[in-house]
Amino acid sequence: MNMYAEVIVDIAHSDVDKIFDYACGEEMRPGMRVVVPFGRGVTTGFVMRVKPTTDVPPEKIKRVLRTEDTLPALTAESLCLAEAVTSRYRVPMALTLRLFLPAEMRTGKVSTRYRTVCRLAENAGPVSPRAKAQLALVEYLAEAGEADSALLRERFGGALKALKEKGIVLSEKRRVFRDPYQGETGQNSVKNLTPFQQNAVETVNRTDKTVILIHGVTGSGKTEVYLSLIADTLKAGKTAVFLVPEISLTPQMLMQLRARFGSSAAILHSGLSAGERFDEWMRLREGTARIAVGARSAVFAPLENVGIIVLDEEHDGSYSSESSPRYNTFDIALLRARYNHCKLVLGSATPSVETYKRAKDGEFELVSMPERINARPMPEVRIVDMRREVRRGNVTGFSTELRQKLSQCLERGNQAILFLNRRGYSQTVICRDCGYVAKCESCDVSLTYHSDENCLKCHYCGARYRMPPACPECGGKHLGYVGTGTQRVVGDLRKMYPAARILRMDVDTTSGKEGHHRILKQFAAHEADILVGTQMVAKGHDFPQVTLVGILDADMSLHFADFRSGERTFQLVTQVAGRSGRAQEPGEVVLQTYDPENYILRFAANYDYEGFYAHEISMRAATMFPPFAKIVRVMVTGEDEQETLSALKCVYEKLNRLYTSEPDAFLFFNRMHSPIKRIQNKFRYQVLMRLADSRVLKDVYAACAEEHFKNVLVYVEENPANLS
């Protein structure tokens, strides 16, 4: 019987963003990838639905040329989610569907890998005693049982072929899975849950709410709660999605999961090789792996029958996607939880103000874990006034107190983590004669000096520049460095503590799949005494021997012109501090600041989340910022300034009509330059809005989706994590 497939072609353009009907056979299933005639050529597409009839007249209907899958690449749930994402964010369906597949599957560059395995036939005939190589091979196989044909060919040459022809050696093709981190596992023994952990697990099981927020201080053992919930889910025959914010954390978490659940855990993240990513995805799709671990994109893991979704470090900014569709991981996770009728567990020591409010308002279940494991004390935070240090003539960036504590820590054979917000050698290069600041040619930002490569780098586009011998503006020779970065701190430490072993972790030292993993592994094995790094060192790590944490520039993030800067600073300080004193020995934290009275830093130093929250939420309410309003930014960027401006004008006019028709929905509405006027040669303009009421949101999306500009990109961001 003839069937018809509703196909979305894999071309992300709004002109073809519709369903096309094709004739197909009965074996067609929704979710399969197909090759179809399209226009004058052929293209790949996705089958959304299969139906017995079509409205397309018979002389016009074309036939599916072939299917690419036996098992549909997209599950029923994926198709359903894709519909929701597409209509929510107003992007072409093809673009959304791509989220659900590993990129390499679409491009066809990677496929399933096989190997050929050989063994002896059971009643094989004799081998001629003169054929030495053949005899040796038979002997080898008799001992080994089986072996890879490539290996046998290498060792015994033509003997393999001869034996196969005689039927003495049999071979068979077997599927191989490329394994990221090559079978490495970590340590994780099942622990007896503490009463707080037990309570968290029971609350998740008992509540009739879909979303549960676990507010647990750093070191309270949240991971163990997740693992216990996941174990129960697997036992019930279901699958689990486990989301972590940073790629750098994923391997560690994976090792724990592997130790506990063996090969049931599969990892999905962009740092894997194409083959590994493909195979891990396949293991999930085929059901051999039942736990998907990964950063935000893993929320699209092809699992069926999901029994729990965990979103660890809920507050982390990396859960918002920065490319189209600009989804929020929580929103997708919630859709999946509803689809599967399962729980969505959020965890954090520093929940975002928005999430905490929803929990307090009763929309989410709230469970708290207020103590560290074994009632270990939270590390004491000492606030050091750097203005005093400078007055005393200490301009090194290391306070006397920090240096004392660091010496003690090293003498006792413990480890320390030093955190600062900037990578590189120093913030920027400035001419002391004329005030010239070295800037990137394609972005509107100053450059950072990197001493190891003796060059200037742009942290936005990655461009490198030679260090000028003199000021390009005035020719003056007094070029100086301002500010300090990770590289410089390491340099200074080497001079102060020549015997200490120091590791640096930032974007520059962690390229490649193994980047973070290698550094973290070295530090965990105590092959280094001090770890210096940016935000990356703040996140979730559990190093038992760390007893000192130094925060070198606590103020940095306070001064961003962003409504979240206070919240970010609180989170950052709490998280970094939380790396100290996680085992037997109590930990300490030295927090250096030029603003020691700052209330955010005070709340953080006292681990007073409630105090911080009460203050922050009342301020947000008074000023009408999220969660009491929504910030929406429409970005308009393009290489040609005139084209960009005319696109801006066009978008602005449409939005302005919306604004004038529904003025009450807007608290703020204006167009302007973005704070960074140019990135990677693209001019950046924006229409910035603050919405009192989200009901106009879909009209904002619609206004931006209607028009297409040739060389200008227009997109909508909701409560963007980064307003630069």
The torsion defined by the Cα of 83, 88, 89 and 95, in degrees rounded to 10, comes to: 0
Q: Which residue type, as a one-letter code, is found at position 409?
A: C
Q: How far apart are CA 678 and CA 495, in angstroms?
A: 39
Q: What is the 3-state secondary structure (H, E, C) of 442-482?
A: CCCCECEEECCCCEEECCCCCCEEECCCCCCCCCCCCEEEE
- From CA 446, how far away is CA 429, in angstroms rounded? 8
Rounded to whole angstroms, the Cα distance separating 723 from 626 reads 14
What pairs with residue 94 in β-bridges? none
Least separation in angstroms between CB 372 and ligand ADP: 7
* 518 CB-contact burial (10 Å; exposed 0-12 / middle 13-18 / buried 19+): middle
Q: How far apart are CA 649 and CA 48, in angstroms?
A: 37
Report the alpha-carbon distance of residue 230 to residue 236 in Å, rounded. 10
Q: Which does 542 bind (CB under 5 to 8 A by kind): Zn ion, ligand ADP, none?
A: ligand ADP
CB-based contacts of 2: which residues, under 8 Å, 6+ apart?
23, 24, 25
Residues 6+ apart with CB under 8 A from 244: 250, 253, 293, 294, 295, 312, 313, 540
Give the nearest distance from C-beta 557 to Zn ion in angstroms.
22
Q: Which of ligand ADP, Zn ion, none lies near 458, with the C-beta cut-off 5 to 8 A by kind?
A: Zn ion
CB of 579 to ligand ADP, least distance (A): 9
Tell me whether residue 53 or residue 189 sits nearer to ligand ADP (CB atom).
Answer: 189
Per-residue tokens: 503? 């590791």
Q: Which does 194 bind (CB under 5 to 8 A by kind): Zn ion, ligand ADP, none?
A: ligand ADP
Residue 146 exposure: Cα atoms within 13 Å on the Cβ side: 13
**Shortest Å distance, C-beta 541 to ligand ADP:** 8
As measured in angstroms, the least distance from the Cβ of 502 to ligand ADP is 24
Nearer to ligand ADP, 444 or 585 (CB): 585
- Give the list of residues 6+ apart from residue 495 with CB closer than 8 angstroms, or none: none
Q: What SS3 state is found at 275?
A: helix
Looking at residue 581, its amino acid is G
Q: Tell me the two tokens of residue 257.
A: 């999961």
* Closer residue to Zn ion (CB): 170 or 461: 461
592's contact among ligand ADP, Zn ion, none, with CB below 5 to 8 A by partner kind, is none
Please, which residue, 357 or 582, has the CB nearer to ligand ADP? 582
Smaller CB distance to ligand ADP: residue 372 or 450? 372
* Site residues (vs ligand ADP, CB under 6 A): 191-194, 197, 216, 218-224, 373, 542, 582
Q: Report what 638 binds from Zn ion, ligand ADP, none; CB cut-off 5-8 Å by kind.
A: none
- Enclosing H/E stretch for 550: strand 546-551
Residue 68 or residue 246: which is nearer to ligand ADP going by CB? 246
Which residue, among 234, 267, 215, 245, has the nearest Cα to 311 in the 3D structure? 245
Tell me whether residue 23 or residue 461 sits nearer to Zn ion (CB atom): 461
392 binds, among Zn ion, ligand ADP, none (CB under 5 to 8 A by kind): none
Nearer to ligand ADP, 221 or 307 (CB): 221
Nearer to ligand ADP, 311 or 714 (CB): 311
Residue 220 interacting partner from ligand ADP, Zn ion, none (CB closer than 5 to 8 Å by kind): ligand ADP
461 binds, among ligand ADP, Zn ion, none (CB under 5 to 8 A by kind): Zn ion
Q: What is d(CA 565, CA 581) in angstroms, rounded to the nearest whole number?
A: 27
C-alpha–C-alpha distance, residues 587 and 379, integer Å: 5
Residues that bind Zn ion (CB under 5 A): 440, 442-443, 458, 460-461, 463
Identify which of residues 96 and 355 has a Cβ nearer to ligand ADP in the complex. Answer: 355
Rounded (5°) CA angle 559-563-564: 80
Under DSSP, is residue 353 helix (H, G, I), strand (E, B) or coil?
Answer: helix
Q: Which helix (H) or strand (E) holds 489?
A: helix 486-496
- CB nearer to ligand ADP: give 52 or 195: 195
Bridge partners of residue 673, in order along the sequence: 685
Closest CA to 531 of 469, 489, 475, 583: 489
Residue 83: helix, strand or coil by DSSP? helix
221 touches which of ligand ADP, Zn ion, none (CB within 5 to 8 A by kind)? ligand ADP
Q: Of ligand ADP, Zn ion, none, which one does residue 340 interact with (CB within 5 to 8 Å by kind)?
A: none
By C-beta, is 547 or 644 nearer to Zn ion? 644
User: Could you tell which of Zn ion, ligand ADP, none binds residue 443, using a CB distance below 5 to 8 A set by kind?
Assistant: Zn ion
Based on CB atoms, which residue is closest to Zn ion, 511 or 623? Answer: 511
Q: Which is nearer to ligand ADP, 222 or 296 (CB)?
A: 222
617-655 as b/e: b if 16+ CB within 10 A: beebeeeebbbbbbbbbbbbbbeeeebbbebbebbbebb
Least CB distance from residue 373 to Zn ion, whole Å?
A: 45
CA terminus-to-terminus distance, the chain: 58
